[in-house]
Amino acid sequence: METAVVVGGGIAGIYSALLLRKSYETVYLIEQDDSLGGLLRSTKNEHGDWFDYGTHFIVGTGVEAIDNVILSEDLREDWQFFANEKGGNFFRNSLSDGVFY
């Protein structure tokens, strides 16, 4: 039996677990928080207003090998696209414009 373990239940961990499931019989996803999602989550305050923790859509990285995985056609089939949304990547303390789809 082939087994893989992913530590961290944010968007990267969830996506990694989904990809690994294609090659491994069992995949364990370990998260220290009470729920999965990391910055992908939202929270509601006592007034019923919703707030995002962070990113809620994926944009390209500019690295073709990575973009071919995270932006594959079968994943985009169910996505909603809004032309006015602008995304970017935060890396090494800098926000850069992303590749938009």
pLDDT at position 20 is 92
Sequence ranges of the domains in the chain? 3-84
Note the CATH architecture for domain 3-84. 3-Layer(bba) Sandwich (3.50)
pLDDT of the residue at 100: 41
pLDDT at residue 67, rounded to an integer: 74
pLDDT at 49: 86
pLDDT tens digits for the chain (101 residues)? 799 999 999 888 988 898 899 899 999 999 999 988 887 788 888 998 887 777 655 666 677 777 777 676 666 666 666 666 666 655 566 656 554 43
What is the C-alpha to C-alpha distance for residues 27 and 45, in angstroms, rounded to an integer?
Answer: 34
Whole-angstrom CA distances from 64 to 57, 60, 95 are 18, 9, 19
Burial of 16 (0-12, 13-18, 19+ CB in 10 A): middle
